Amino acid sequence: MKIGVIGGGLMGLALAQRLSAQGHRVTVYERDRQVGGLTTWHDYGAFEWDKFYHVILPSDAQLIGFIRDIGLGERLCWARTLTGFYVDRQFHSMSSAVEFLRFPPVSLIGKLRLALTILYCARIDDWRRLERIPVGAWLERLGGKATYEKIWKPLLLAKLGDNYQRVSAVFIWSYIKRMFSAREGSAQKEQLGHVAGGYKTLFGRLQSVIGQAGGEIRTGVTVSRVAAAADGAGMTIECGTSAERFDKVLFTSPANVLRQVAEPGLVRDDARGREVEYLGVICMVLVTRQPLTPYYIVNIADPRIPFTGIIGMSNLVSPTQTAGLHMTFLPKYVDSNSPVLRRPDDELRHEFLEGLRLMIPDLDERGIESAVINRAIKVQPLQVLEYSSLVPSIESAHPDFFVVNTSQFTHMTLNNNEVIRAVDGFLAAYAERLAAAPRAATASVASPSPIPHPQRA
Ligand X SMILES: Cc1cc2nc3c(=O)[nH]c(=O)nc-3n(C[C@H](O)[C@H](O)[C@H](O)COP(=O)(O)OP(=O)(O)OC[C@H]3O[C@@H](n4cnc5c(N)ncnc54)[C@H](O)[C@@H]3O)c2cc1C
SS3 447: coil
Nearer to ligand X, 322 or 415 (CB): 415
Nearer to ligand X, 106 or 226 (CB): 226
DSSP per residue, 272-325: TT----EEEEEEEEEEESS-S-S-SEEEE--TT-SSSEEEEGGGTS-GGGTTT-
How far apart CA 335 and CA 136 sit, in angstroms, is: 18
Q: Select from 447, 3, 383, 343 the least CA-distant residue to 160.
A: 383
Q: How far is the CB of 160 from ligand X (least distance, A)?
A: 14
Q: Select from 442, 441, 443 the least CA-distant residue to 398.
A: 441
Q: How far is the CB of 418 from ligand X (least distance, A)?
A: 7
> What b/e string do you get for 398-435 counting C-beta neighbours within 10 Å, with b at 16 or more?
bbbbbbbbbbbbbbbbbbbbbbbbbbbbbbeebeeebe
Nearer to ligand X, 6 or 106 (CB): 6
Q: Pairing state of beta strands 297-300 and 83-87?
A: parallel
Q: Which helix (H) or strand (E) holds 426?
A: helix 416-435
Q: How far is the CB of 112 from ligand X (least distance, A)?
A: 30
The site for ligand X (CB under 6 A) is made up of 6-12, 29-32, 37-39, 52-55, 222-223, 252-253, 257, 261, 281, 283, 331, 376, 379, 405-406, 414-417, 419
Q: How far is the CB of 52 from ligand X (least distance, A)?
A: 4
Nearer to ligand X, 164 or 307 (CB): 307
Q: How far is the CB of 98 from ligand X (least distance, A)?
A: 26
C-beta pairs of 68-76 under 8 Å, 24+ apart in sequence: 70/17, 70/202, 70/205, 70/206, 70/209, 71/205, 71/209, 72/195, 72/201, 72/202, 72/205, 75/195, 75/196, 75/197, 75/201, 76/193, 76/194, 76/195, 76/196
Nearer to ligand X, 30 or 395 (CB): 30
Nearer to ligand X, 427 or 436 (CB): 427
Nearer to ligand X, 252 or 393 (CB): 252
Within 13 Å of residue 269, how many CA atoms lie on the same side as its CB? 13
Q: How far is the CB of 262 from ligand X (least distance, A)?
A: 11
Within 13 Å of residue 175, how many CA atoms lie on the same side as its CB? 13
Q: How far is the CB of 73 from ligand X (least distance, A)?
A: 17
Nearer to ligand X, 33 or 123 (CB): 33
Q: How far is the CB of 51 from ligand X (least distance, A)?
A: 8
